[in-house]
A and B are shown apart, each in its own frame.
Chain A
Amino acid sequence: MELHYLDNGATTRPRPEVVAAMTRALTEGWGNPSSLHRLGVAAEKQVKEARAAVARLIGAPPAQLFFTSGGTEASNLAIKGAARANRRRGQHIITTRVEHSCVLSACQALEDEGFSVTYLPVNAAGEVTADQVAAALRDDTVLVSVMHVNNEVGAVQPVAEIGRLLRDHPALFHIDAVQSAGKLPIDVQKLGVDLLAISAHKLHGPKGVGALYVRQGVKLESLQHGGGQEHGVRPGTENVPGIVGFGAAAEIARQELATAPARMYALKQRILDGLTAAGIRYQINGPAPQSAAPHILNLSFEGIPRGEVLVHALEEHGVYVSTGSACHSRQIKVSHVLAAMGIGDARGLGAIRVSLSAMTTEAEVDSLVAALRQIVPEMQALGFRTR
């Protein structure tokens, strides 16, 4: 059975170059980068090269990039690390209602520590405005955390504007860029951001490794303590194979940034055109496709009461998508993102998320459309009431 993988928001297929680089790191360059002898030096060199490649992807100086175990750890380190290091200055945090659960959970944990958090509401497309952030800013605000691209509906937040706004405020600015790295251009200097989190497995790299950009001069309280690697920001023997894979993936992602986004927008439109041509009516959950991130499309169809049923039905055709976001699939209520956008059960429970990548082909999206052409009318004929 063929594999038409359109769930790239959940994870992506590792590129052959990535696998090759990691295999080399496992079979040949397996020394400990901290060792004094040449095996250590060789490993350290690999980490250095990977760091440079990842840093180039986001326009950062390599010295300000720290590897972690993934996007979740990077954002946790940023949020908790910054808040705790600055709690004497203030204990107020601003974020949005549509952040990824790692950001929301980290903020909730800080609330338990005595911080107060403002969760900004979003419009029907899932977007916040810089004005909202300005209105919520207080003298005691120490951190603002806004994601670049929302993973469920693809809404792009005005992070550059927020960065400009915060230039004149001491609060630190954190961006969860896990879904935007490799899809939208990122330049941390231009964005004026203090902390930026990214993840390897969302850009055809391996799982288990991510990175946090920390602007020079920003102090963080570390989450873990150890032997001083990564300048003490995130100690622990480096995950060399993962980091090497991340570097290889980041290098390719950077090169593809010139052409991949346009390709993905075109494929997204191809899907919608295909559905329209087949007479399948749909509703888009999120911003207009060309205003959203290039790779994410969240759709609801009439008469489909549960997204999970569509996921399995599509699976039978070799097409893979997700419902809500990968983290929410087990719950029987609308995801917090859709709920914040005002989308109720009737429309939200049946939603599916299609997410493309730089590797997606026309044939794959055509398979999606062909499968939906068959499945949706069949399911609609069964007359389920969407509650």
Chain B
Amino acid sequence: MERVIIVRYGELGLKGKNRPVFEDALKRGLQQAVRLSGTPARVVKTFGRFFVEPRDEQPLEMEALLPMVQRVFGLVSISPAIRVPATLEQLRTAAATALAEHLAAHRDLPEPIPFRVETHRADKLFPLSSQETNMELGGFLLDREPRLKVNLSAPRLTVHVEIREGKGYLYTEVLPGPGGLPYGSSGRGLLLLSGGIDSPVAGWMMMKRGVRLEAIHFESPPFTSERAREKVIDLCKVLAAWGEPIKLHIISTTEIQKQIRMQAPEDLSITLLRRFMLRISEGVARKAGAGALITGDSLGQVASQTMESIETINAVTAFPVLRPAIALDKAEIIDLAHRVGTYELSILPFEDCCTLFAPRNPRTRPRPEQAAAAEERLPVAELVAQALAADRVLLVGPDQVREWRTDAAPGIRGIYN
């Protein structure tokens, strides 16, 4: 008898050619989760599902493993299960164990406990049919546990039995996964990461749809502090723990902010700064092989997030800009931030002296032509090139950070081994 985790996935409409890519990415995600759990385990792929199994005969440490596995993008559900050879005797023992453990862990069940056994028999060599197995095991369990009462239509406890390839799997729980697509299976995206609540959430939402994340952060020393940068690095660490280590580009916009302040109308300063940020981000994205930019824009919260502002800022690029939070309420974003684990970090109040550059009355409905006219007095291309030339890149893992050399060989895997 051994413990395993059944891992279920399946995006409706996964076509034939995409399937191997999907499955490979999912396997990597599961292996990453195993690594992050700090416990030994093996990831095995079989028909239509994965198993997390013991490695070198070391039993799985479920408490450390389950929470990490449950976070892997692309999973629909997981079940910690007992696996035995498919004989009735073994199935009975396993069922009894599974039942006892479930009852010990769930003390709030009503008594008598409505329960049923649900069997899927895919192995034609097994002597009993699914229905017969239900009745056999059901009866067996009823004898052992007087609190149970059969209820086929509305059970509170279901003992699942799967019989395939000579093995029987017994489990009582189906734990939901995050859904989505496996990390990295949808390509690469560059997240514009500020220290606020929204942008980390937007990054996570795209990670969930399979986007491999890179990030870019803009700072303006001496108006911003190293503490602000440390906060962004910490946010990256949290995101990296949902996927893989993230490359973080750090760009200085001090010169740009100064020039905007000296040469352009004050009420357009935020709009113009964000246009620069978008141009610079596109440059970084193209070089990194990313196919899209990602921002935490949510419609209507601040002056730069009205529809007109978005149009005027977006006008500087034709590169796809994904805004997954565009239709979320602040409360929904905050809920997600709690789930992702970035909320507490985001609200830390390190004074950002960037606010010194903020206009008293920012233009809320700027036109692209107005912005372009204001930019005529600025050496746009030069400022963008200067900013790109000083790009500093860090590789941020869940608990480690290091400088990333751009001439390092591609495909260097993680920082764990």
Question: What is A's interface to B at a CB cutoff of 8 Å?
Answer: 305-306, 308-313, 315-316, 330, 332, 381-384
Contacts and interface: CB of A to CB of B under 8 A. Distances in A.
B351 A332 contact: yes
B222 A313 contact: yes
Contacts, number: 32
Chain B binding surface, main DSSP class: loop
11 contacts: A308-B353, A309-B353, A311-B222, A312-B223, A313-B222, A316-B222, A330-B349, A330-B350, A382-B258, A382-B261, A383-B261
B222 A309 contact: yes
Interface of B: 221-225, 258, 261-262, 349-351, 353, 356
B356 A312 contact: no
A312 B379 CA distance: 27
Contacts of A316: 221-222
Nearest to A313: B222
Contacts of B353: 306, 308-309
B351 A312 contact: no
Nearest to B351: A332
Contacts of B221: 312, 316
Given A313-B222, A382-B261, 11 more contacts: A308-B351, A308-B353, A310-B222, A312-B222, A312-B223, A312-B224, A316-B221, A316-B222, A330-B349, A330-B351, A381-B262
A308 B225 contact: yes
Contacts of A315: 222
Nearest to A329: B351
Nearest to B350: A330
A305 B356 contact: yes
A312 B258 contact: no
- Among B222, B262, B349, the one with the most A-chain Cβ atoms within 10 Å of its Cβ is B222
B264 to A, nearest CB: 13
Contacts of B223: 309, 312
A382 B353 CA distance: 14
A383 to B, nearest CB: 7
Nearest to B258: A382
A384 B356 contact: yes
Shortest 10 CB-CB contacts between residues of A and residues of B: A312-B222, A313-B222, A309-B353, A306-B353, A309-B222, A382-B261, A384-B356, A309-B223, A332-B351, A305-B356
Nearest to A383: B261
A384 B258 CA distance: 11
A235 B353 CA distance: 45
Contacts of A305: 356
A383 B263 CA distance: 12
A306 B261 CA distance: 17
Contacts of B258: 382
Contacts of B261: 382-383
Contact of A306 (B262, B349, B350, B356): B356
Contacts of A381: 262
B369 to A, nearest CB: 27
A383 B225 CA distance: 21
A306 B349 CA distance: 16
B388 to A, nearest CB: 21
A350 to B, nearest CB: 11
Nearest to A314: B222
B98 to A, nearest CB: 53
Contacts of B225: 308, 312
Contacts of A384: 356
A220 B223 CA distance: 48
A322 to B, nearest CB: 13
